């Protein structure tokens, strides 16, 4: 199978269900506690066709742009059987490719599948004791814990195996990754999402603002500035957050958009010497966490990096100081930063 066939459908079917999909996508995509930039994805099954968010598209733009790609369910399942990623075979319209999570959406039988990077969920999903911590909070729901596994075919096959033992499952907590919700329609999926967000809600730690001396550090550093989001300074001023970040990479988007090592500096290191301080790298990182001071960002930081940085702050501010954490392994990080990275790092608006 070299080329996936394209369904003979209009780009936006005139169906009430599809309108609901666009509305739900917009609401979810505009909530930074659920989606950061262009991550997350939603799908709808209509008449044997899976409408799935295109790779690199933002859910928040669903009503303004062609955001969803139609793929025959039978084609996706055949590609899964042959162990071939559907995104490698299929383009639609103006070079739109289906999400890397397409196979996962296909193996789930519900009509609507919603995958988000909920900061509350991830704060639980990075814990080694996540399953036991969630058992009481999610009591009464048909949910399963999925230990971390690479996105795409590996994740789809893992969920398919879990479904064989529990076909009624409609909630999946993805270790070191996020949340998957299933429903028979958009309204049911959104109601379930709201319920889980209430159950898993964590009040973030209060942290001091940036040190006034941080402005002096910036003097003469024309390429660096304070972030527009004051809460970001917690990454530098909160000692618990710094300790957590020094432990490693918590989830894939952190590695993809912020790098495999967090850019953290003691107050004594001038930003003008940042490039040399950062292991001799040719280009300085686009952000810096100043220990005890706050956060500064480069004029070169893009919206993908910035959104991910905010999401990371929201997650670590919700993780308890002595929580047993499970970081991504060196092998897992290398896989994330391999051939999938370019597919994740599509234009971010």
pTM for the full model?
0.90
3-state secondary structure of 178: strand
Nearest to 209 by CA among 310, 306, 294, 317: 294
pLDDT higher than threshold 60 for residue 173: yes
Q: Note the maximum CA span of the chain.
A: 62
For 50, the domain range is: 16-200
- 228 and 324 together in one domain: yes
Provide the pLDDT confidence category of residue 221 given band limits of 50, 70 and 90.
confident
Strand intervals (E) in the chain: 41-46, 49-53, 68-72, 112-116, 143-146, 171-174, 178-183, 224-225, 264-265, 287-290, 294-298
For residue 129, what pLDDT is reported? 98
Percentage of the residues of the chain whose pLDDT score is greater than 90: 69
For residue 220, what pLDDT is reported? 66
Token pair for residue 120?
């509350």
- 98 and 232 together in one domain: no
**pLDDT tens-digit profile of 235-246?**
999 999 999 999
pLDDT higher than threshold 70 for residue 12: no
pLDDT higher than threshold 50 for residue 46: yes
pLDDT higher than threshold 50 for residue 315: yes
Ranges 8-12, 65-69, 209-213, 256-260: which has the least confidence: 8-12
Q: Computed from CA positions of residues 294, 259, 145, 163, in that sequence, does the dihedral angle turn out positive or negative?
A: positive
Any domain includes 112: yes
Identify the CATH number of the domain in which residue 144 sits.
3.40.225.10
Any domain includes 111: yes
- 99 and 164 together in one domain: yes
pLDDT higher than threshold 80 for residue 92: no
pLDDT higher than threshold 50 for residue 26: yes
Any domain includes 2: no
The number of folded domains in the chain is 2
Tell me how far apart the terminal alpha carbons of the chain are, to the nearest angstrom.
34
Segment 34-45 shows an average pLDDT of 94
């Amino acid at each position: 199978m070299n080329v996936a066939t394209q369904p003979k459908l209009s780009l936006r079917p005139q169906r009430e269900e599809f309108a609901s999909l666009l509305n739900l996508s917009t609401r979810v995509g505009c909530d930074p506690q659920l989606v950061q930039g262009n991550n997350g994805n939603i799908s709808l099954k209509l008449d044997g066709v899976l409408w799935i968010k295109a790779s690199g598209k933002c859910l928040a733009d669903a009503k303004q742009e062609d955001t969803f790609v139609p793929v025959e369910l039978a084609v996706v399942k055949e590609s899964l059987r042959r162990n071939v990623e559907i995104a490698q075979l299929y383009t639609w319209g103006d070079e739109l490719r289906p999400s890397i999570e397409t196979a996962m959406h296909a193996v789930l039988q519900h009509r609507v599948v919603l995958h988000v990077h909920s900061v509350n969920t991830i704060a639980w999903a990075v814990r080694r004791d996540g399953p036991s911590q969630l058992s009481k909070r999610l009591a009464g729901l048909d949910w399963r814990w999925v230990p971390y596994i690479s996105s795409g075919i590996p994740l789809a096959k893992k969920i398919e195996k879990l479904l064989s033992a529990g076909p009624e499952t409609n909630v999946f907590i993805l270790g070191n990754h996020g949340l998957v919700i299933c429903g028979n329609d958009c309204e049911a999926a959104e109601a379930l999402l709201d319920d889980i967000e209430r159950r898993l809600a964590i009040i973030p730690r209060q942290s001091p603002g940036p040190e006034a001396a941080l402005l002096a550090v910036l003097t003469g550093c024309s390429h660096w500035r304070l972030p527009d989001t004051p809460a970001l300074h917690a990454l530098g001023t909160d000692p618990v957050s710094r300790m957590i970040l020094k432990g490693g990479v918590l989830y894939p988007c952190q590695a993809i958009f912020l790098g495999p090592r967090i850019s953290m500096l003691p107050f004594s290191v001038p930003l003008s010497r940042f490039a040399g301080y950062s292991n001799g790298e040719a280009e300085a990182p686009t952000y810096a966490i100043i220990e005890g001071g706050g956060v500064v960002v480069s004029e070169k930081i893009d919206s993908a990096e910035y959104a991910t940085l905010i999401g990371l702050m929201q997650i670590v501010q919700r993780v308890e100081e002595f929580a047993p954490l499970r970081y991504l392994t060196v092998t897992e990080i290398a896989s994330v930063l391999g051939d999938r990275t370019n597919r994740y790092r599509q234009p971010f608006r």
